Amino acid sequence: MLTKDLFATRMSRMKASEIRELLKLLDQPGIISFAGGIPDPALFPTEAFADAFQNALGTEKQAQALQYSVSEGYAPLREWLADHMRHIGIECGLDNILITSGSQQALDYLGKLYLSPGDTALVGWPTYLGALAAFNAYEPRFDKLSINGNRGAAEYAAAAGESLVKFAYLSPDFANPTGETVDLRGREALLDLAEDLNCAVIEDGAYQALRYEGEPIPPVLALELARKGSIEDCRTIYCGSFSKTLSPGLRVGWVVAAKQVISQLVLMKQAADLHSATINQMAINDVARACFDTHIPMLRRVYGARRDAMLDALVEHMPKGVEWTKPEGGMFVWVTLPKGIVGSDLLARALDTVKVAFVPGQAFFPDGSGANTIRLSFSNSDEATIQEGVRRLGEVLRA
């Protein structure tokens, strides 16, 4: 029998994701789930995708659609993306864009590119679980990135000791799991910090397009470009995704960065999976061109109303001592429970007694703190269900 001691040391740090385990619960009848941070399938642009796949397979494009293609990604999609990035303040060429199999793959590659065992990655406390999982495989040490906090470069360097700080990772718009946004000052301060530490910035823009109120804040990469004039001089690496806007199942994401970074990531892609599925990239390209500009306002309206329903229901049903964030976009509200209430215990009880699911917050903290936090997602339930689910949660909390 093959024994576990043959596994590489990196495997000791990799554990099953609580979220993945929880997603299995979605199939149980009667469960109200605020667990997965997933888009509502009823909102997928299904007809546009049907046309796009028909177009890819029913025309002279089929040979290309089913064939191997270049690692950098389908050129027409990269052209659309260059245009899209320009609209959000990032001027770049096709050579600055790599298509990945979801932005999750980009996070894995960036961990692989920057982290040797023992190197330091600065991450939010809490931070996106999938980023922690991706980076963990490269055996880093994590330190707490405190944006707008009072930790300067000297403190980070002192805490790192012999270890090199390689990058700061953040999701500046409507972060997973907190829903919080980093303001302009925080973004500028982060760039200053990265200059002082001479490290990269990994900007995760997974929810960037999903703003329901307030004015958009320029991406960190746009701010750095304004400082430096050329993307080739920038240390920020932008990761984008179609998962939250068009479809997560097709697994299409992208990275925008200086050519010297992209060329290294291309080498990784060649070694890992050669390229992302050609036909999926073609379909995303068609659908993005056909309806991205009308689809996003619709998503903002629907998800915005769900966010409002969740915030209203929390005001109505949460007992005293419970606090939560008020996200301007994205899919999540982050709830802090009174000290002593443990999120995972509450989940067990909520599932058992009132059939409500959510994600306990502890898994999002690299040091296992945050036991009294939970993440609620409002994206995949209608307003009445949200109202009812939060009412039931309030009932359990009061009990």
Q: Which residues bind ligand PLP (CB under 6 A)?
A: 37, 102-104, 128, 130, 171, 176, 204, 206, 241, 243, 248, 253
To ligand PLP, the closest distance from the beta carbon of 355 in angstroms equals: 24
Q: Where are the beta strands (DSSP E) in the chain?
A: 32-33, 97-100, 120-123, 141-144, 165-170, 200-204, 236-241, 253-256, 323-324, 332-336, 356-357, 359-360, 373-377
To ligand PLP, the closest distance from the beta carbon of 12 in angstroms equals: 24
To ligand PLP, the closest distance from the beta carbon of 357 in angstroms equals: 16
Sign of the C-alpha dihedral, residues 39, 248, 76, 67?
negative
Return d(Cα 282, Cα 62) in angstroms, integer: 10
Nearer to ligand PLP by C-beta: 128 or 378? 128
Residues whose CB falls within 8 Å of the CB of residue 200, separated by 6 or more in sequence, listed in order: 110, 114, 166, 167, 168, 194, 235, 236, 237
Nearer to ligand PLP by C-beta: 69 or 103? 103
To ligand PLP, the closest distance from the beta carbon of 304 in angstroms equals: 18
Nearer to ligand PLP by C-beta: 208 or 336? 208
To ligand PLP, the closest distance from the beta carbon of 247 in angstroms equals: 9
Q: Which residue is nearest to ligand PLP (CB)?
A: 102
To ligand PLP, the closest distance from the beta carbon of 391 in angstroms equals: 27
Amino acid at 289: R
- Which tokens in the block code for residue 82? 């260059």
Nearer to ligand PLP by C-beta: 206 or 284? 206
Nearer to ligand PLP by C-beta: 253 or 329? 253
Q: Is 90 helix (H, G, I), strand (E, B) or coil?
A: coil
Return d(Cα 117, Cα 82) in angstroms, integer: 34
To ligand PLP, the closest distance from the beta carbon of 17 in angstroms equals: 11
Q: Is 136 helix (H, G, I), strand (E, B) or coil?
A: helix
Nearer to ligand PLP by C-beta: 22 or 206? 206
Nearer to ligand PLP by C-beta: 160 or 268? 268
Alpha-carbon distances, residue 34 vs 6, 87, 98, 285 (angstroms): 39, 32, 33, 31
